[in-house]
Amino acid sequence: MLSFQYLPHREYAGLDTEEKLKKVFKIVKKDKIVLMQGRLKPHEEALLIEQTMGQITKKFSGISFCTILPDQNGKGKKSDGKVPLVLKNAFYNVFMKNRDTLTIIGPANLVKEIRKNPNRIDLMMN
């Protein structure tokens, strides 16, 4: 059986980076796939990789993770509406705080790879 655990923004919004990652690892190490509302900051993503490497054992070979951005298809393209894309993105970043982004983090022993093509997400299971 495959288990997913939803991690809403309110559950980690007040946490510092260490606590946030601790929460993620706690779920992942129970062989569950985290569906996180929002995304980690770039330095937190780097720290997630660093800490993953520091925890690798025979039983835990790491993680697979992927961030799904709402404006993925719009990047680099001209806006088709009246509001320029740059403004739209800025609005989202300020008011939504990336809450319409989804981050998937799974243990590598379950999720070998998350293949992201702009329009599709494939979870390659082990």
Binding residues for other proteins (CB under 8 A): 41-43, 45-46, 49-50, 52-54, 56, 61-67, 75-76, 108, 114-118
Q: CB 76 → other proteins: shortest distance, Å? A: 3
How is residue 53 written in tokens? 């490497």
DSSP 3-state of 99: coil
Q: State how far the alpha carbon of 3 is from the alpha carbons of 27, 52, 68, 71, 105, in Å.
A: 10, 20, 19, 28, 12
Nearer to other proteins, 9 or 45 (CB): 45
Nearer to other proteins, 62 or 70 (CB): 62
Q: CB 91 → other proteins: shortest distance, Å? A: 19
Dihedral, 105, 20, 25, 102 alpha carbons, nearest 10: -10
Nearer to other proteins, 3 or 61 (CB): 61
